[in-house]
Homo-oligomer: A and B are copies of this chain.
């Protein structure tokens, strides 16, 4: 089987991730619940992982790295905990439903106003629209760091400067970039960075979180036991406890920590270069196949910095039919359809057909790429 669905989840993982989780499952207590060695081991693992993530994302205080079950939860926490009635939020056509649905809910339930920066048919944002859309009541800007459909990267430094000049809080969805694209929260002016552990970070499912910049105060969302200040009626004020209630997934966090070690040892740039080389190789091999339509900024020359995704369609074939054919005949895993990103597909003009998404990861090889390109050529002919 050739797994080219890394943008959904990184199925292949460094062996040390598996080992770390296996060890944790039989040696770890409940973090911050008691002072015996096993509870402390869990607390220590969580703290080490916070420190690794803080270092990766340019956060000065590891206590402002809060864990969540995935980036969807992190985004719900950030958006529900920041937007007030009457606020205006600017977001973009590139967003995943993990951003869109919380925003639509805020519109419906909290009288929050939302505008979307449009993307063109290549999935590229109209950056000028941020300045046109901003209003006196604009408070938040929420952007996807990279589209999960096309792989197009968004210039968050540019948007960060814009937000800093206007005093807006920038929330970034780094689901597709954490682990492969450098992110420095402080220099980029990011207020809240939401990430998931099981994609580019190569950790287990059930891990992820949000990093909160100094000065950004998010209302608690999930409330409950914290192991500290038990007599308080409200969630404790201090991060990370403020945004974490209940037993953390320290088993998963142990795996995420091992994955972060692996990424540091291997070099994020080395990983990103490998994935980009595979993407470019695939592009080169399918670009001129008759009947293949490519989506995203891959049509530019040179291909700009982006994540290792190639989205395409073959003739007018339904994307699900092509993906099924790839799975059943060629044993190649891809992802068709809407990818939970409806506005992106409207912008690309692929609402009905969807697209077939190929996403490459560290464990993929040139042979995987060539097999996939050959398969597309056969299907197209």
User: Which residue of B26, B30, B334 is within 8 Å of A8 (Cβ)?
Assistant: B30
A105 within 8 A of B: yes
Residue contact A34 to B336, C-beta cutoff 8 Å: yes
Alpha-carbon gap, A67 to B74, bound state (A): 17
Residue contact B247 to A9, C-beta cutoff 8 Å: yes
Q: A3-B29, A35-B324, A198-B247 are in contact. List 18 more A-B contacts (CB 8 A).
A: A1-B37, A5-B38, A8-B34, A8-B247, A9-B29, A11-B38, A34-B323, A34-B333, A36-B327, A37-B327, A70-B246, A70-B249, A72-B222, A97-B226, A98-B245, A205-B251, A206-B251, A230-B338
Alpha-carbon gap, A25 to B222, bound state (A): 27
Interface residue total, chain A, C-beta cutoff 8 A: 84
Residue contact A18 to B22, C-beta cutoff 8 Å: yes
CB distance from A283 to the nearest CB of B (A): 21
A339 within 8 A of B: yes
Residue contact B204 to A251, C-beta cutoff 8 Å: yes
Alpha-carbon gap, A108 to B97, bound state (A): 30
**Which residues on B sit within 8 Å (CB–CB) of A230?**
97, 337-342
Interface of A is mostly: loop
Nearest neighbor of A109 in chain B, beta-carbon distance: B219
A interface residues with partner B (beta carbon < 8 Å): 1, 3, 5, 8-9, 11-13, 17-18, 21-22, 25-30, 33-39, 69-73, 75-76, 96-102, 104-105, 196, 198, 204-207, 222-227, 230-231, 233-235, 245-252, 255, 320, 323-324, 326-327, 332-342, 351
Residue contact A225 to B98, C-beta cutoff 8 Å: yes
Alpha-carbon gap, A340 to B228, bound state (A): 8
Residue contact B100 to A233, C-beta cutoff 8 Å: yes
Nearest neighbor of A225 in chain B, beta-carbon distance: B340
**Which residues on B sit within 8 Å (CB–CB) of A246?**
69-73, 98, 196
